[in-house]
Amino acid sequence: MTEAAGALSPNAEPSSPFLRACRGLPTDRTPVWLLRQAGRYLPEYRALREKHSMLELIRSPELAARVTLIPIDAFDLDAAIVFSDILPPLVGMGLELDFVQADGPRIGNPISRPRDVDVLGTPPAEETMAGTLEAIGLVSRELAARDVPVIGFAGAPFTLASYAIEGGVSKDFSRTKAFMLSEPAAWRRLLTRLVTVQADYLLAQARAGAHALQVFDSWAGRALGREDYVRYVAPHNRELFATASQAGVPVINFSLGVSAYLTDAAACGGDVVGLDWQLPLDEAWERIGFDRPAQGNLDPAALLAPWRELRPRIDDVIDRAGGRPGHVFNVGHGLVPQTPVDNVRRLVEHVRERTSA
Ligand code: CP3
């Protein structure tokens, strides 16, 4: 079974630059992929979205595979990330999810009391996320000949809990924090259930053919100070990374906005640390240790600037990586919908040109 090769032979040296960098091995060029590379800035994606709802795209293996491949075919990126979202696994737990155009994700029955936590289910991913697992298989077979690895992903428990409690996007996370501080036992039960479901989902994605896994903790760093992070989040993240490490493929820990406690966030686990754009790459990398592979960290807003401004910023990230092995070039948060497609193309070409041996 070629699609599970990553999981079955974890010790064989990979040939793709991305998987080599994830193991700290030397590469003949710096691999590059981009957070939210398959998203709304792409006209082909927007056209498909006119015909299908977000959940239809995610649940259809063929459509999800097609969206995953759009940026790979267009820009020759070094890794594909399966088209899905961090929130669909909540549906299997009993939460009602919808994606409302221009408004973002909505949960119809948000959690407001401890009792709401106790009715959440923890069904296996093979039952609830079959479309995404099948899409991973399709994409990994399609890309095997090009030696382009496929990344599976899941949300970290705080980030998912914030959607489950707020019912959508939040500015200050006040409901989430009120619940966390007022109902610490129910908070622990909620995060424990989220970890059970996400860990199972990550392992299932590796079995389905994902060659690497990324955990997105998008909001803990924005919401919490260090003490609360260490107390209410870190133990659960450690649990998630400990289980995910059994997948036998590299795991990327992307925690946004944690510059104030980067070492605590990195210590939760993951082979590779995904860095946001707040600190210069060399300074952040030094904090986590140059022996640990790092992914990042161009500000995605730089892609909204003209090339004369974008180019030196790309060069700055490359220069700060300093030719050390274990660097995956990426943006420090997702590409925004206004991103000009041509800047994405030029960025990928430039990273390849500048870093080729
Ligand atoms: O490259 C890719 O785009 C891969 C697929 C992907 C999506 N979401 C598709 C999506 C991935 C990896 C995500 C992760 C995700 N989703 C995160 C973590 C990364 C991050 O940016 O911090 C978070 C917090 C979410 C939750 C979410 N989903 C939000 C806040 C929104 C609305 C705003 C937005 O980014 O568009 C979504 C919707 C969503 N997820 C869309 C896409 C393509 C847009 C849906 C649409 O077309 O209406």
**Does residue 1 surpass a pLDDT of 60?**
no
Neighbours of 41 (CB within 10 A): 22
Alpha carbon distance 283, 278 (integer Å): 10
26 Cβ below 6 A of ligand 1: no
86 Cβ below 6 A of ligand 1: yes
Residue of minimum CA distance from atom 34 in ligand 1: 104
Alpha carbon distance 110, 116 (integer Å): 8
CA of 40 to the centre of ligand 1 (A): 9
pLDDT, one tens digit per residue, over 237-247 is 999 999 999 99
334 Cβ below 6 A of ligand 1: yes
pLDDT, one tens digit per residue, over 333-344 is 999 999 999 999
How far apart, in Å, are the Cα atoms of 204 and each of 161, 243, 329? 21, 12, 27
> SS3 for 216?
strand
What's the mean per-residue pLDDT of the chain? 96
pLDDT at residue 290, rounded to an integer: 98
Taking each helix axis as running N to C, give the angle between helix 157-166 and helix 174-182, from 0 to 180 degrees, rounded to the nearest 10: 110
The tally of CA atoms less than 13 A away on the side-chain side of residue 169 is: 7
pLDDT, one tens digit per residue, over 56-107 is 999 999 999 999 999 999 999 999 999 999 999 999 999 999 999 878 999 9
Neighbours of 227 (CB within 10 A): 9
pLDDT band at 7 (very low <50, low <70, confident <90, very high): very low
pLDDT band at 3 (very low <50, low <70, confident <90, very high): very low
